[in-house]
Structure 1
């Protein structure tokens, strides 16, 4: 490549104005062609946001600055229900949302949250990276959203309380528990004769602090990063649901990206999801000791009585009917017979 004397003089003049050697190259660099917002509801320190920032930097580097994916954690741009509306309208371009809340739009998306279905992570990933996950992604696509291939991990959910530990299904009777805005959660805890209240996550801490509800349920990593241990006394390791986050994109915004950029963005998002799974599993495995030191009292209930209670209450039969034979067959293919 030949450089003319005029080019050299132009670069030198720019360097003088900007006050530094090498600055003309910065000055001439174009701003990103695509500045997209990515919103989520998790604290800034959660593994999802740690990996999201890495992912954003990798996308910017690999697209040579053409795509700038800006991360907005901790409900900065609104509640889950607000963000679901915005991802559909294009107010935000990317959003991670629990399938159990996405079910208000895509009913099949909550199937991974069927109570006491998944015994361990091996079973989860076999299902969600396999036929069950593919089925759910197909249903999300029908709702005119773009969804990435890999679901991010939120973890197995545990039950916390300010009033009493949960040792068996009978302890849920009359228990005022916060649940996300999702029919499946409400249905399950009603089957246990509890009193579930649907509250967005951004309001959970204050609801517990003011005793609007006695307890809530979330993975240990989120109980830690959201400091829920400050307003709760007991943590029962119920492992009652596995929950994950689908990485969603507004279809119009996605299709504005040229094909080569879509490939780069999707590759980095899916790679970050796999890394975040490892981080979250480690954090959930190690955080119990830290939460104990902070004063949370742990107990380990037996799972079988909870599953029996759900079966007797008709919970599994009801949701099999709602999801349909195909979806339920794919679930039981991975977890075994439920109903």
Structure 2
């Protein structure tokens, strides 16, 4: 794993490993009872939270109660970036994270968050349910010691603003917009002249309410469940970046389970993530309509202008990620071919 961890976080990792060992982590030849933690950064009631509880329910059912999983939403034990680091160290057992966050340690993984890379939900499914998904599983395991249990599509991102509507990229000049702690998001909004402000999701509502930031971008579900219609006035369907949110397990944890337990965990994850993706597709229009009932809507912004303005982000990404990053882009583009 090519990551730079501080002495403090490394010590925390050793402590977490010791705690897991002290809890009696099974060897592959035994079948002991385990209690594990699952962390995600989204609000209770979000579809990720629903999927997390469904996963825990199915794991308990399939292992006859040998494995129980407690779900911690809203970044209670780890935010987005901290959770991605914690699942590598083993201080968190399961986590939902995205490739843009993993790009903090492996820049080539930022390809998933490139603006306007994915053409739609079907393109996402064709990419991650095929050879690209399998290659990424192997790559992440080799680089991070973590196992991808499922690829989640959390929807395409839109923009909500406090003070003015967004019809095109010029409307974002100077706008302080919250973005996740992901380098490619920062680059994307700098390219249109905005002032991107990385911020934990739990801080966004208050930041909008008090005027610390002027705007937020997220899938419609995240905006609706997070109550952002209460602190913004305008909504624009830019669909600028597809949002992946993937369920990962600590690799040492998985290796320590019996084969039957491993299969139960993987099967439960496959079902929970598949249900999540289906629910996301169904809910996207519902949550958009909920927001549109409260906000002034720009339903057809100038997406071609956004795509042109954000095009330099691709060049910047390839310069940073090299042939590895370019290779992933080409594989995604190939997956879109009929």
Q: TM-score, normalised by structure 1?
A: 0.84
Pairwise CA distance, 1:101:
1.5
Name the Cα RMSD after superposition.
Answer: 1.8
1:326 aligned residue: 327
Structure 2: which 5+ runs fail to align?
1-30
For 1:85 and 1:309, the matched residues in 2 are separated by 32
Structure 1 contact 148–266 (Cα < 8 Å) conserved? no
Pairwise CA distance, 1:102:
2.0
Structure 2 contact 234–295 (Cα < 8 Å) conserved? yes
For 2:318 and 2:136, the matched residues in 1 are separated by 15
For 2:242 and 2:212, the matched residues in 1 are separated by 25
For 1:143 and 1:81, the matched residues in 2 are separated by 16
Describe the superposition over 1:101-145 as per-residue Cα deviations: whole angstroms up to 9, x where unpaired. 121123233212110122211111111222333333333212233
Output aligned runs, 1:53-68, within 5 Å.
53-68=53-68
Pairwise CA distance, 1:162:
0.3
Structure 1: which 5+ runs fail to align?
1-30
1:46 aligned residue: 46
Answer yes or no: is 1:120 the counterpart of 2:91.
no
Output aligned runs, 1:187-198, within 5 Å.
187-198=187-198
2:150 aligned residue: 150
Pairwise CA distance, 1:52:
2.1
2:183 aligned residue: 183
For 1:149 and 1:270, the matched residues in 2 are separated by 7
Pairwise CA distance, 1:158:
0.4
For 1:267 and 1:276, the matched residues in 2 are separated by 14
Query: How many residues are matched?
Result: 303
1:70 aligned residue: 70
Question: CA, structure 1 residues 205+216, in 2 after alignment: closer, same or farther (shift >3 Å)?
Answer: same
SS at match of 1:177: strand
1:106 aligned residue: 106
Bigger Rg, which one: 1
Range moving further from structure 2, 267-276 or 51-60:
51-60
Structure 1 contact 147–246 (Cα < 8 Å) conserved? no
Q: TM-score, normalised by structure 2?
A: 0.85
For 1:296 and 1:218, the matched residues in 2 are separated by 15
Output aligned runs, 1:1-339, within 5 Å.
33-293=33-293, 295-299=294-298, 300-311=300-311, 314-323=312-321, 324=323, 325-335=326-336
